[in-house]
Structure 1
Amino acid sequence: MNWNRYIKDYQSYLRIERGLSKNTIENYGFDIERLCLFLETNQIDVSPIKISEETLQQFIYEVAKELNPRSQARIISGLKSFFNYLVFEDYRNDNPLELIEAPKTGRKLPDTLSLEEIDNLIEAIDLSTNEGERNRAMLETLYGCGLRVSELISLKISDLFFDEGFIKITGKGNKERFVPIGPLTQKYIDIYKNAVRPNLSIKKGAEDTLFLNRRGNYLTRAMVFTIIKDLAQKVGLKKNISPHTLRHSFATHLLENGADLRSIQLMLGHESITTTEIYVHLDRSFLKEVMHSFHPRK
């Protein structure tokens, strides 16, 4: 089997021509590697050019024993994309997954936090430490600007335009957008940036990165997840939350307070408004209120 060359070429295509993020490209790669492991385990020596629909159906059957429908659907979608690439490059004449349907997953609504729960999380931060000041600024930024965790850890000092009331965000596919930032979030970023960050021994290459670890180097996604999980446990919050929960809460609270979906879409950096529309399903009472307020036949 010679899958590595095809996988590397495919990942280059995703990076250069599709402009996808590093994390997305890695996830596509994991799906193909899972297929390769299945082939190796079952001693099926076949290239991506020759693999048949029947073999792929066997693989999906095995995957279905271990994964939930949502994960199965993601793997099938990822593999379809890989074989579409092989067809596009004339390595194959057909996509062997063309007729294989992904399982129905339904639409999972994201968890959200109330304003009180967000306040409780932030109040639980130990501000007697340098990391505490940083963590408060990070949570305020996640919730105040609706950022993805990858956008938070890559935020640069040169991306802060406080006089204009905006920060510049580099999102998925290296697409840039300007997001409004409120005075409270600015205040806590300034405290960290001016009182804490100068005391760090900043590593080469990280000079412009806003949020740093105690060794003056880049934060990882996993560190931000851990910080938020630990705070949730500290305040006895039963919800299963992550940095993305603060992003969902940002959008939901804007919607509940009368913001329109198009504005929320621009702030979140969603390619399609369909992605943003999931927030409409979170609060039916809000929609009912809109109907009664604005429809001519009340």
Structure 2
Amino acid sequence: MAAEATVRSYLDHLTVERGSSANTLSSYRRDLRRYLDYLSGRGVTSLADVDAATVSGFLAALREGGPDHPPLSAASSARAVVAVRGLHKFGYADGQLESDVAREVKPPAPPRRLPKAISVEDVERLLEAADFDQTPLSVRDRALLEVLYGTGARISEAVGLDVDDLDIAGRTVLLRGKGGKQRLAPLGSFAARALEAYLVRVRPGLAFNGAGTPKVFLNSRGGPLSRQSAWTVLRSAADKAGLATDISPHTLRHSFATHLMEGGADVRVVQELLGHASVTTTQIYTLVTVDQLREVYAAAHPRAQATRT
């Protein structure tokens, strides 16, 4: 079978049987197109003619760059190799390939980076700036940002909320994460109050302009608020609060986790709240706390540093 056909079958498998998100499919489609172009440039038209050295060569080409794309980072290269490994694994399991030649090709380990987080004081400034003028849309914006920070939700989870997912009296919210996984997250009093104000005072008027949607957060025309619009809401509030321009919705998620860890929350609890499949992903937040402890220790302990004489 031609490599193009195997890729199509694999993407169909991810869509129908794995229920992969639109963002995942888009990334895989782009990475596998690069792979097909790489194979085509070497006269390879069938995955049956690929060996482990070919897959390793593709990884090296990603890191080195070329005329059609700059060198990719370790994280981007790793994602592409994961897509290629998945393609070959699928082809082998489906009986299209006699062996899984990509199995032993390991993606590069991305550098371990500390998540970006802002202080509690900056979060409060951001939230206050969102609805400083108390217009209907600013009340909505405050509710959205309170939900993002108060639950640690991803931006897609927040804009994907339906009204029936909220239990304000019980202080919980049902979040739908990656791969269709659901989790029940606690809703703090600040987020609950902001949501209630929006649902009672603002959402009915916005919904009147639309065709009817169960989504919690609506735009001015009564339709569901998009991820891009939610980004704009955050950037606007950050500008008003005089905060850094690189703040993103994920910054609030990172801040949520970091502030929990600083407050003494168990890493396993934070894992559940964030919806991480593995605790290893969550443990990176412990590095933030350790760094802060190290700074305090260095400044406060009498024998932390040698005195120069």
Query: Structure 2-normalised TM-score?
Result: 0.83
Change in Cα spacing, 1:77 to 1:208, as seen in structure 2 (3 Å) is same
Q: Which amino acid in 1 is paired with 2:7? A: I
Q: Which amino acid in 1 is paired with 2:227? A: R
SS in 2 for 1:179: strand
Q: Which amino acid in 2 is paired with 1:229? A: R
SS in 1 for 2:99: coil
Partner of 2:170: 164
Change in Cα spacing, 1:80 to 1:165, as seen in structure 2 (3 Å) is same
How many residues were matched structurally? 287
Cα distance in 2 between the residues matched to 1:274 and 1:172: 17
Partner of 1:89: 94
Partner of 2:23: 23
Partner of 2:301: none
Q: Which 5+ residue runs of structure 2 have no aligned equivalent?
A: 66-70, 296-309
Q: 117, 138, 150: which one pairs with 2:122?
A: 117
Partner of 1:209: 215
Cα distance in 1 between the residues matched to 2:209 and 2:79: 39
Partner of 2:45: 46
Deviation, structure 1 residue 155: 0.5
Cα distance in 2 between the residues matched to 1:129 and 1:6: 53
Q: Which amino acid in 2 is paired with 1:47? A: S
Deviation, structure 1 residue 38: 4.1
Cα distance in 2 between the residues matched to 1:260 and 1:136: 29
Cα distance in 2 between the residues matched to 1:128 and 1:38: 55
Partner of 2:59: 60
Cα distance in 2 between the residues matched to 1:54 and 1:274: 30
Q: Which amino acid in 2 is paired with 1:48? A: L
SS in 1 for 2:260: helix
Bigger mean CA offset, 111-120 vs 238-247: 238-247
Q: Deviations over 1:67-124 (max 9, x none)?
A: 1122111111221111111111111122333343333322111100101111222222
Q: Which amino acid in 1 is paired with 2:258? A: T
Partner of 1:103: 108
Cα distance in 1 between the residues matched to 2:31 and 2:168: 42
Q: Is 1:250 aligned to residue 247 of structure 2?
A: no
- Native 8 Å contact 2:168 2:196 kept in 1: no
Change in Cα spacing, 1:175 to 1:104, as seen in structure 2 (3 Å) is closer
Change in Cα spacing, 1:39 to 1:115, as seen in structure 2 (3 Å) is same
Cα distance in 2 between the residues matched to 1:220 and 1:3: 36
Bigger mean CA offset, 11-20 vs 127-136: 11-20
Q: Which amino acid in 2 is paired with 1:237? A: L
Q: Which amino acid in 2 is paired with 1:31? A: D
Change in Cα spacing, 1:139 to 1:30, as seen in structure 2 (3 Å) is same
SS in 2 for 1:169: strand
Partner of 1:7: 7
Bigger mean CA offset, 61-70 vs 267-276: 61-70
Cα distance in 2 between the residues matched to 1:285 and 1:140: 27
Q: 238, 262, 268: which one pairs with 1:262?
A: 268
User: Aligned residues: percent identity?
Assistant: 35
Q: 228, 233, 237: which one pairs with 1:227?
A: 233
Bigger mean CA offset, 165-174 vs 236-245: 236-245
Q: Is 1:76 aligned to residue 85 of structure 2?
A: no
Cα distance in 1 between the residues matched to 2:281 and 2:6: 31
Q: Which 5+ residue runs of structure 1 have no aligned equivalent?
A: 290-298
Q: Which amino acid in 1 is paired with 2:74? A: P
Change in Cα spacing, 1:285 to 1:32, as seen in structure 2 (3 Å) is closer
Cα distance in 1 between the residues matched to 2:93 and 2:279: 28
Q: CA RMSD in A?
A: 2.5
- Native 8 Å contact 1:256 1:286 kept in 2: no
Partner of 2:193: 187
Q: Deviations over 1:232-265 (max 9, x none)?
A: 3443323622111101111111111111112111
- Native 8 Å contact 1:202 1:215 kept in 2: yes
